[in-house]
Amino acid sequence: MDAAAQRAGGAAIRVEDLVKRFGSFTANDRLNFSVASGEIFGFLGANGAGKTTAIKILCGLSAPTSGRVEVAGYDVARYPEQVKRRIGYMSQHFSLYNDLTVYENIRLFGAIYGLSLSVIRERSDQLLRRLDLKEQRNRLLGTLSLGWKQKLAFSVAILHRPHIVFLDEPTSGVDPITRRQFWEQIYQAANEGITVFVTTHYLDEAEYCQRVSIMVEGRIAALDTPKALKEQGRSESMNEVFLKLTRPN
């Protein structure tokens, strides 16, 4: 953790009264939460609840209508470049390039993140060994399965060893075994000190998070550990918690 994050009292993310409006529509309605350094934080909500809108603001890709957002100890509105250097981002939509090889993708994103060629080579070897993908180094990415692509995309999103990685529906459309392996990667990253901010529609994955927030129509309707949320909602599973909050009737 650097000095700015220490000044923020160890919080990786701090959101105060965040509001985002599109015309008269309020997509994020006074969000308040913080995420501790090294935490795995699940950001859940039905389609259109406002998750991606909030993530874009946290990453400095979109400006809030009002409120204050601090990421890695920096005010995102004032220091977007400092923030961008300290975060990784992966979404289901934008991943790697199918017409480049596995290694070319790693080299491209390593260069975008400002890593030297020697560091890229070293981390690439490490990454390919960890993923058991060494043999596929020179294969076109487009020939790999979606599961492999997503596992590689995650590794690439943390290639520059960011403080925080934002994962927007990273396991969408991926089979259960690959999802499990993907979560092992997430745990490994968290063990290495990376804060993980993840959205998912798979409620079993919410159980793997240390804390979970559930958004309903732009507001945070609940935020706690999965265990506490189940107790509060007298629910057997996160699925039940989610359904009770998002479909109260």
CB of 216 to ligand ATP, least distance (A): 10
Q: Is the dihedral of CA 87, 91, 93, 98 positive or negative?
A: positive
Q: Which residue has the tokens 């350094």?
A: 37
57 near 63, Cβ under 8 Å?
A: yes
Residue (22 or 236) nearer to ligand ATP, CB: 22
Q: Which of 2, 17, 32, 48 contacts ligand ATP by CB under 6 A?
A: 48
Residue (71 or 133) nearer to ligand ATP, CB: 71
Q: Which of 45, 110, 170, 226 contacts ligand ATP by CB under 6 A?
A: 45
What are the φ/ψ torsions at residue 66 (nearest 5 degrees)? -160, 170
By CB under 6 A, tell whether 94 contacts ligand ATP: no
52 near 90, Cβ under 8 Å?
A: no
CB of 17 to ligand ATP, least distance (A): 18
Residue (48 or 142) nearer to ligand ATP, CB: 48
Q: Which of 11, 13, 53, 110 contacts ligand ATP by CB under 6 A?
A: 53
Sheet containing 74-75: which strands, arranged edge to edge? 25-36, 11-22, 66-71, 74-75
Q: Mark the segment that binds ligand ATP (CB under 6 A) among 49-57, 144-152, 227-235, 241-249.
A: 49-57
* 161-189 per-residue burial string, b: 16 or more CB within 10 A, e: under 16: ebbbbbbbbbbbebeeebbebbbebbeeb
CB of 76 to ligand ATP, least distance (A): 17
Neighbour-count burial of 135, counting CB atoms closer than 10 A to its CB (0-12 exposed, 13-18 middle, 19+ buried): exposed
Q: Mark the segment that binds ligand ATP (CB under 6 A) among 48-56, 146-154, 231-239, 241-249.
A: 48-56
Residue (27 or 83) nearer to ligand ATP, CB: 27
Applying CB under 6 A, the residues found at the interface with ligand ATP are 22, 25, 27, 45, 47-53
